[in-house]
Amino acid sequence: MSEMSKYMSEMLKKLTKSKQIYRSCIKNDISRKKRGDNKMLKTCTVCGKIHDFNKVCRRKKTQKNTEASKFRKTYKWTEKSKYIKQRDNYLCQVCLLDKYKTNYRYTYKDLEVHHIVSIEEDYNKRLDSDNLITLCRYHHEMAERGDISREELQRIIEDK
């Protein structure tokens, strides 16, 4: 089989796969319309919620202009967060301990550095390594809500 014919057969396979995906999307769209669910949904770029495709969100993007938000844009914070992620081996420390309905033991995607004592509460601890921990987005949101206690996060850092 020549190079050209191999290339053509690969392209034909890709085209066939694309047609199958397209047909699947059309079938899903038709079945959705039969159910009476005619709304197409999208994630709003302004507020982050899910709206009807044609709706224009009237909310304005709010920009925080606090000392903490200014700090998060600095070079010092960027370097410190890189250091903390490296210290924690680029893994979510809560997932590693298999707590709080963890889906994966070794989560290395969507990592964020969390301030145990927030910047707003104590600005002097903003770059303190004992106040920072690497968390995945899921556990970071839990920590922000208070579902994961500060004491437990502090214990995780001390046990390292």
**Spans of all domains in the chain:** 3-52, 67-158
Residue written as token pair 């038709």: 30
Q: What is the pTM (predicted TM-score) of this model?
A: 0.59
- Range with top average pLDDT, 14-18, 103-107, 153-157: 153-157
Tens digits of residue pLDDT in 20-56: 666 665 655 555 555 555 566 777 777 767 777 677 7
Average pLDDT in the chain: 80
Confidence of residue 108 (pLDDT cuts 50, 70, 90): confident
Q: Radius of gyration (Cα) for the chain, nearest Å?
A: 23
SS3 content of the chain, % helix, strand, coil (to 5): 50, 10, 40
Q: How far is CA 22 from CA 29, 34, 103, 109, in A?
A: 11, 19, 31, 30
Q: How is residue 130 annotated by DSSP?
A: G
Give residue 103's identity as a one-letter amino acid code. Answer: N
Tell me which amino acid residue 3 is.
Answer: E
